[in-house]
Amino acid sequence: RVFNFCAGPAALPTSVLERAQAELLDWQGRGLSVMEMSHRSDEFVSIAQQAEANLRTLLQIPANYKVLFMQGGASSQFAMVPLNLLGQGGTPNYIYSGIWAKKAMAEAKRYANQHVAASAEISQLTAMPSQADIQLSADAAYLHYTSNETIGGLRAPEVFQTPEQVPLVCDMSSDILSAPVDIEKFGIIYAGAQKNIGPAGLTLVIIRDDLLDQALEITPTMMQYKVMAENESMYNTPPTFAWYLAGLVFDWLLNDIGGLQVMAQINQRKAQKLYQAIDTSDFYTNPIQPAYRSIMNVPFQLADDALNARFLADAQEAGLLNLSGHRSVGGMRASIYNAVPETAVDALIDFMRDFEQRHA
Ligand code: PLP
């Protein structure tokens, strides 16, 4: 298999795919595929419960938080968060940090006037605001931020703090499960699955119990966290195969990797060596201030944009795929999620050095 640096859908651990392949036609001697099982069957319910149990262990999720396995991607959460949290009024508060935060803010605007509590614009999106920059509105219903801006390659190194009555809501789509996180600091965490969780089509929501009952009247049934929680995420037919695969990924993280502490060390090492390769070269650049650089998505520019196509073609030839930057920013981006092995980063660095020698 090639080394895949795609931002999403992203690489999955090879051992997970091999296990899924081995079980594809006949899951544990039942004579059928997980894809063909009723979501209400004992078999699938056990798969679903095991996935949740492993996730709870990995993230140390306290008992007063529900885990929801939903659909619609993180983009649907942009609407679901205000729909589910504005039932008692108040002003949604947002931290602006880039393209994904902006999309979340655009959805919230449909339901209420919003307040920008802090903005990374001051630094031209090269640094996240810090805790001291945050100014909540007096009637804040919640504070939303994006822990990792997948396109900009900008991350929040700290979990922001809010007063007790203001739940913290976080879009963790592109860095969930990359390191341990203190769930208790959050009201809601959500993430599209297609980076560190599993295949696209599944969306994870972790929500504190007391926030389940604050939805606006207009909230569609399928978008109500309460309905999803009361029905164990099976109000309708869930994306069963994606849920099963996510379960295999959780199992891999827990039992093959050894948990999120170990995963975080590996991720730090991968990111550090790639940034170092960029910083020690005159040919490659990354604009983000070091303290705020993403551990998962590493954007970089070549000294000459005219070489971009050559770089991508040569990289592909060398078995290094999907290094093109997001269409809105250009340049390159290496997404080095959990399933991208350190050997892939080593191979990329070797390739970058060689390309620089040939073209600088
Ligand atoms: N938020 C972040 C940080 C993302 O990186 C993405 C997708 O890349 C999204 C939201 C949107 O996710 P989805 O495609 O699941 O709607």
Residue 324 has which token pair? 């093109």
Q: Is the pLDDT of residue 133 over 90?
A: yes
User: 300 in ligand 1 pocket by Cβ < 6 Å?
Assistant: no
Binding residues: 40, 74-75, 100, 150, 171, 194, 236-237
Ligand 1 centroid from CA 192, angstroms: 6
- Annotated active-site residue in 100, 243, 252, 270: 100
If DSSP codes are grouped into helix, strand and coil, which group holds residue 207?
A: strand
Sign of CA pseudo-dihedral 66, 251, 50, 12 = positive
Task: Tell me the pLDDT tens digit for each residue of 285-338.
Answer: 999 999 999 999 999 999 999 999 999 999 999 999 999 999 888 999 999 999
- 102 catalytically annotated: no
Letter for the amino acid at 237?
T
Q: Residue 30: which pLDDT band, with cuts at 50, 70 and 90? A: very high
User: 137 in ligand 1 pocket by Cβ < 6 Å?
Assistant: no
User: 71 in ligand 1 pocket by Cβ < 6 Å?
Assistant: no
User: 171 in ligand 1 pocket by Cβ < 6 Å?
Assistant: yes
Torsion angle of C-alpha atoms 97, 276, 180, 77, degrees rounded to 10: 30
- 100 catalytically annotated: yes
User: 146 in ligand 1 pocket by Cβ < 6 Å?
Assistant: yes
Domains annotated on the chain, with CATH: 15-257 (3.40.640.10), 259-359 (3.90.1150.10)
CB 283 within 8 A of CB 302: yes
Q: Is the pLDDT of residue 42 over 90?
A: yes
DSSP state of 210: G
Letter for the amino acid at 129?
P
**Arithmetic mean of pLDDT over the chain:** 97
User: 187 in ligand 1 pocket by Cβ < 6 Å?
Assistant: no
User: 175 in ligand 1 pocket by Cβ < 6 Å?
Assistant: no
- Annotated active-site residue in 171, 243, 252, 270: 171
Question: In Å, what is the CA distance from 39 to each residue of 174, 198, 206, 244, 280?
Answer: 28, 18, 21, 11, 52
| Residue 15: Cβ within 10 Å count | 13
Task: Tell me the pLDDT tens digit for each residue of 252-279.
Answer: 999 999 999 999 999 999 999 999 999 9
Question: Which of these, 55, 40, 86, lies nearest to 225 by C-alpha position?
Answer: 86
User: 174 in ligand 1 pocket by Cβ < 6 Å?
Assistant: yes
Binding residues for pyridoxal 5'-phosphate: 74-75, 100, 150, 171, 194, 236-237
DSSP state of 329: T
Q: What is the mean pLDDT of residues 194-214?
A: 98
Residue 128 has which token pair? 């996240």
CB 81 within 8 A of CB 108: yes
Letter for the amino acid at 143?
L
Q: What is the DSSP string of 140-196?
A: EEEEEEESEETTTTEE-SS-----TTS-EEEE-TTTTTSS---GGG-SEEEEESTTT
Residue 154 bridge partners (DSSP): 149, 293
Pocket test for ligand 1, best of 173, 175, 204, 295 (most atoms within 8 A of CB): 173
Question: In Å, what is the CA distance from 2 to each residue of 256, 334, 343?
Answer: 21, 14, 11
Letter for the amino acid at 104?
A
Sign of CA pseudo-dihedral 279, 308, 268, 353 = negative
Ligand 1, closest atom to CA 76?
A: 16
Strands 115-119 and 91-96: parallel
- Annotated active-site residue in 27, 66, 175, 195: 195
Q: Residue 160: which pLDDT band, with cuts at 50, 70 and 90? A: very high
9 preceded by a cis bond (ω within 30 of 0):
yes
Q: Is the pLDDT of residue 360 over 90?
A: no
CB 6 within 8 A of CB 296: no
Q: Cα Rg for the chain, rounded, in angstroms?
A: 21
Task: Tell me the pLDDT tens digit for each residue of 52-93.
Answer: 999 999 999 999 999 999 999 999 999 999 999 999 999 999
Ligand 1, closest atom to CA 151?
A: 5
Q: Where are the beta strands (DSSP E) in 175-287?
A: 188-192, 203-208, 284-285
Pocket test for ligand 1, best of 71, 75, 197 (most atoms within 8 A of CB): 75
